[in-house]
Structure 1
Amino acid sequence: MKLNIDKRKIAVVVLLLVTACFFFCRKSSEVKGVELEVSFSESSLSDRLITDVQYRWKTKENFAGIDQNCHIFVHFWHRNNLILYDNHIPEIPIPQWEPDKEYVYSRRIYIPSFIDASDPEFKGEETIKLSIGFAFPSGSPGKPLRKVFEKKIKFMTPPPDTPEIIYENGWYDFEIDPEDFLKRWRWTGKEARCFIDNPYRDALLVIRGGISSKAASGQKVIVRLNDKLLDEFIPETKNFEKS
């Protein structure tokens, strides 16, 4: 079984959602008849963070429709480095979009570590350029990537009270794949243990993980906090999320 763990996660993920604030940004479309609003579930963004991104697509009366099988590209740029991308197909595919409509959905992402607080030039925050738009199949007329939204966003270092995780035993090295559901994870043995700082405040425990069906069938996942059984289940799909 592979588990996605960060300093904001416990035995899979500890996600602290202390507020329900939204960071909000908007930009006019470069594609005729389409606008996009983007908001984050965290009021302050940092690296090493899991956050929900809400996409609110608005088509105008002059939207002519897109009959090609394109998808959405979402790129997070730090200087010249692409630190994260979450390319995806919306819940309602783009060819089915109609004029004068709204299409709203959310996706959870993990912001990887990219801030070097020890850098003498670091001034307490870093800037990320977020670019979002339509990616068309190769061979289509026009540009393959057609930008709809672009915004510069400030990122801070994580709060000092972010729980620390110490991996005790049963863990393999980290693996990273931006295309994977978990983005960043560690495989476990039959049993894995870790120590986590107590945040001493209300927190939401989110369990995200995945299994390898090739290894064995009917694998059961058991999650415990000290001696307390939190959950016990057999995943119905390759990847799972519990909260």
Structure 2
Amino acid sequence: MRIKTFCLPALAALVFLSCGKGSEPRGLDLNLAIQPDMLTDFLFAKMDYTYRLSEDFEGFSKDYAVFVHFWRTRSKEMLVQDDHMPEILTTQWRPGQKVEYSRTLFIPKFLDEIDIDFEGYEEIRITVGLWDPDSSEDEKIMLFRKNVKVHPASVVAPEIVYAEGWNNVETDPELDNPRERRWQWTTKKAVCVIENPKKESTLIIQGGVDKAKIEDQKVIFRINDQLLGEFIPETAKFEKRYTLAPAQMGDDYEFRFTIETDKAFVPAMLDPQSSDKRELGIQIYFLYFREALK
């Protein structure tokens, strides 16, 4: 997949009347650049914010927060929310200044490709603006609004095959963290076969170990036969992020990502009341592999 930054057209600041009253700030424009150029679900997207303040900018007397919302246009559901304070507080913005910073947000998997009515993409609306977090009034100043298409990740994401050493998928929809509602246990050694993009890529693993069973369990990651990382998690849950160079993945059309542990356990051998005879190694909640953002 080709990564490219694209700039969504900037809109002059205007009041979003449906969300309350507000005063229109003069001399403030927002440019929003998003990469990659094709948005999909199950994607980390980079958001580059550039606020341009002209000489007639009158300034702010309060520190506004920035709201960033991705709306599903059909169902009117909010898909993503990334409200935040700008890196330079708005009371410090001055005429002629340019305020720039970047943030990364995650678009979860939400598209149903087997739905008979699915058209190959879904249109979402991105809205960005300012709001006063200290005010009880629902006052918002809209700075940006744009409809964009979101495609299924399968269109561009490298295929990941859970090849060997994996137990069955388990789920618990009641868990608070949506990324932890689905998981798979490895055995002592598990392998994924991943399509090789032959480009610098990002690998993210979120997992867990059962410290009540094995306090000092080591986790080992390998790309093909080369060691990527090894560690003993400090807590039961862990997250690791790696940037993989093309040379690490090799020249073949696919490569092997191996998850190992120095110690595995069988619940039934530790607890006489357990009937679970599986070999359990590492609990994997989230595995992400995409071309790296620039």
| 1:198 equivalent in structure 2 | 195
Q: Secondary structure at the match of 1:95?
A: helix
Which has the larger helix fraction? 2
Is structure 2 residue 142 aligned with structure 1 residue 147?
yes
| 1:23 equivalent in structure 2 | 6
State the number of aligned residues: 221
Mapped partners of 2:201, 2:85: distance in 1 = 28
Could you tell me whether the CA contact under 8 Å between 1:38 and 1:56 is conserved in 2?
yes
- Post-superposition Cα deviations, 1:18-77, rounded to whole Å, max 9, x if no partner, equal 434123212221142221111112121111112211111111222222232321110000
Mapped partners of 1:209, 1:89: distance in 2 = 27
Could you tell me whether the CA contact under 8 Å between 2:121 and 2:149 is conserved in 1?
yes
Mapped partners of 2:203, 2:160: distance in 1 = 16
| 1:14 equivalent in structure 2 | none
Match of 1:95 among 91, 108, 120: 91
Give the number of the structure with larger relative contact order, counting CA–CA contacts within 8 Å between residues 6 or more apart. 1
Higher mean C-alpha displacement, 60-69 vs 189-198: 189-198
Could you tell me whether the CA contact under 8 Å between 2:158 and 2:195 is conserved in 1?
no
| Structure 1 residues 117-196: aligned runs within 5 Å | 117-139=113-135, 143-158=138-153, 159=155, 162-166=158-162, 168-169=166-167, 173=171, 184=179, 193=190, 195-196=192-193
| 1:47 equivalent in structure 2 | 41
Could you tell me whether the CA contact under 8 Å between 2:41 and 2:150 is conserved in 1?
yes
Mapped partners of 1:195, 1:125: distance in 2 = 28
Match of 1:62 among 56, 74, 88: 56
- Post-superposition Cα deviations, 1:158-215, rounded to whole Å, max 9, x if no partner, equal 216632253925997588999x9xx845789897845242235324134465999xx9
Q: State the Cα distance separating 1:234 from its structure 2 match.
A: 8.2
**Counterpart code for 1:29:** A
State the structure with more CA Rg: 2
Unaligned runs of at least 5 residues, structure 2: 15-23, 244-294
Distance 1:103 1:207, change over 3 A: same
Could you tell me whether the CA contact under 8 Å between 1:133 and 1:147 is conserved in 2?
yes
Mapped partners of 2:107, 2:172: distance in 1 = 15
Match of 2:65 among 68, 71, 83: 71
Unaligned runs of at least 5 residues, structure 1: 1-17
| 2:280 equivalent in structure 1 | none
| 1:5 equivalent in structure 2 | none
Q: State the Cα distance separating 1:235 from its structure 2 match.
A: 9.1
Distance 1:121 1:211, change over 3 A: closer
**Counterpart code for 1:60:** S
**Counterpart code for 2:229:** D
Match of 1:83 among 57, 79, 85: 79
**Counterpart code for 1:24:** C
Q: State the Cα distance separating 1:154 from its structure 2 match.
A: 1.4
**Structure-1-length-normalised TM-score:** 0.71
Distance 1:160 1:35, change over 3 A: closer
Could you tell me whether the CA contact under 8 Å between 2:202 and 2:241 is conserved in 1?
no
Q: Over the residues paired in the alignment, what is the CA RMSD in angstroms? A: 3.9
Mapped partners of 1:187, 1:60: distance in 2 = 50
| 1:4 equivalent in structure 2 | none
**Structure-2-length-normalised TM-score:** 0.60
